[in-house]
Amino acid sequence: MERISREAPVLIIRHETTRQMPGGGANAVYNLATLGAQVKAVGLVGKDDQGKALRGIFEDAGIDTEGIMVDTQRPTVTKTRISGHARQSVTQQIVRVDRKSDELPDPVIQEQLTDYIRAQIGTVDAVVCSDYGDGVFTGPVIQAVLAHQQTVVDTQKSLGRYRGARLFTPNLPEAERAVGYSIASPQALTAADKDLLALTQAQQILITRGDAGMSLFDPSGREQHIPAFNRTEVFDVTGAGDTVVAALTLGLAAGGSFWEAAVLGNIAASIVVRQFGTATTNPTEVKATLQALLEETGSGRKFL
Ligand SMILES: Nc1ncnc2c1ncn2[C@@H]1O[C@H](COP(=O)(O)OP(=O)(O)OP(=O)(O)O)[C@@H](O)[C@H]1O
Ligand SMILES: [Mg+2]
């Protein structure tokens, strides 16, 4: 029998655990909750284990799930990320497998969603529309959410359907698709800002620009650019836009200006991009990061 020498190559198979975390619109919901908001979640799940798991995660976080309807005709949208990890490198995604329906929900379900929103809209300080294009945002649902003065829209497509909402937060590719041209120069950014404001009739537009930070525009032509606050410890930017929309909506709901709310969103994003997967942050981390920023800029101001 051949003896295995000490130098023989050994294949180590590591058992990796599977982690379930809220994704898509559920990531925005979860971010709002960890930032300290009382959240009423509205949306669709299928009659499956993923739907049950999502409801469980939400309930553990104190999120009201009465507005989450079960649609037996569709699966709970599930994105499976298969990632690899070697000892001396960071975890990296290899492939993502999505399970979802491309059909619109049944009219009865659309009506249930709309009725729930109409009944609750007067009880909340703000509404976040996180539209990943998976069927929840039908015409009647959008009409219902637009009844609120403080509606913030983060949609991958069709910004014009939400005309009249207070603020939109497209990322750069979404903004480019909406205006129909590439935004590769400051001039193009200014033009896109005007076109997006005309399309949406919003009070402000916030374009999130990945490692270039974010830009805020209003109808008077004022542009405010905020750089990314953390560019050196970035591991995974998935879901950073959801964190931005959650933190900035809470900033606005608390009476902050658009600029203050955007800075809050940028700070929260600078924290979650340090973690693998869709991540969240909390008020303690946000305050500490803001304090560190103020000290770094030598403003001499104390925040805490
Ligand atoms: N590579 C990066 N380095 C530093 N900060 C980043 C980076 N990518 C994103 N961010 C921060 O996160 C914010 C939102 O990022 P981005 O524009 O990629 O949103 P998004 O594409 O809508 O994200 P998602 O749809 O995955 O939630 C940026 O404005 C910035 O503050
Ligand atoms: Mg986004």
Nearest to residue 238, comparing CAs of 129, 92, 133?
92
Tell me which residues have their CB within 5 A of the ion that is ligand 2: 171, 241
Q: What is the pLDDT of residue 85?
A: 76
Interval between CA 208 and ligand 1 midpoint (Å)? 6
Which numbered ligand comes closest to the C-alpha of 265? 1
Q: What is the pLDDT of residue 301?
A: 63
Which numbered ligand comes closest to the C-alpha of 228? 1
From 130, 155, 171, 183, give the residue whose CB has the most ligand 1 atoms within 8 Å, as the site to mutate.
Answer: 171
Q: What is the pLDDT of residue 2?
A: 47
pTM, full prediction: 0.91
Buried b / exposed e over 175-192, threshold 16 CB at 10 Å, is bbebbeeebeeeeebeeb
Catalytic, 154? Answer no
Tell me the pLDDT of the chain (304 aa) as tens digits: 445 455 555 554 455 567 889 999 999 999 999 999 999 999 999 999 999 999 999 999 999 999 999 999 999 999 998 888 777 777 778 899 999 998 999 999 999 999 999 999 999 999 999 999 999 999 999 999 999 999 999 999 999 999 999 999 999 999 999 999 999 999 999 999 999 999 999 999 999 999 999 999 999 999 999 999 987 888 888 899 999 999 999 999 999 999 999 999 999 999 999 888 888 999 999 999 999 998 887 766 655 4
E strands, 139-203, in order: 151-155, 167-168
> For the chain, which domains are there?
29-38+102-296 (3.40.1190.20)
- The count of residues in the chain is 304
d(CA 167, CA 218): 10
Interval between CA 140 and ligand 1 midpoint (Å)? 30
d(CA 214, CA 168): 12
Interval between CA 262 and ligand 1 midpoint (Å)? 13
